[in-house]
Amino acid sequence: MLKAYTQIWYGDLYQDTPVWFAEPLHLVAEWRCFVRYGQILDVRPYKGNWRSHFTPTVLEQALAAYLPSALAAFALEIGCTADGKTVVVEGTKAMRWVLIA
């Protein structure tokens, strides 16, 4: 368990960068959603129960809310809780992706 945000390291954070925390969730499945120029290119299972399904409208609403300030390419990670709720887990900058030919 984190005791203070000083225990978190992320390449572009400074000492005075606010960090948001949410209550822990038990996710039964996660997916990574690849977005380029505001369009969802693909959604792939990332972790968990392959029989679980996310609610597409939650992903679409999250994307619409993020687009005004979004980068040209990024990933949204979404998850499904044991009671079937779809939640946004995090957003990831595209510059962290690795392309393999």
Q: Residue 12 domain-assigned?
A: no
The yes-or-no verdict on residue 13 having pLDDT over 70 is: no
Closest CA to 24 of 1, 7, 45: 1
In this prediction, residues 66-93 reach a mean pLDDT of 88
Distance of alpha carbon 18 from alpha carbon 21, whole angstroms: 10
Q: How many domains does the chain have?
A: 1
Q: Residue 43 domain-assigned?
A: yes
Distance of alpha carbon 54 from alpha carbon 70, whole angstroms: 22
Q: Residue 1 domain-assigned?
A: no
In this prediction, residues 74-82 reach a mean pLDDT of 92
Q: What percent of the chain is modeled with pLDDT above 90?
A: 48
> For 36-63, what is each residue's pLDDT tens digit?
999 999 999 989 998 999 999 999 999 9
Of residues 15 and 98, more confidence is placed in 15
Q: What is the CATH number of the domain that holds 84?
A: 3.30.470.20
Q: Residue 78 domain-assigned?
A: yes
Q: Residue 10 domain-assigned?
A: no
- Its domain, for residue 47, covers 23-96
User: Residue 16: its pLDDT value, please?
Assistant: 67
Three-class SS state of 85: coil
User: Residue 57: its pLDDT value, please?
Assistant: 95
Q: Residue 90 domain-assigned?
A: yes
Q: Residue 7 domain-assigned?
A: no
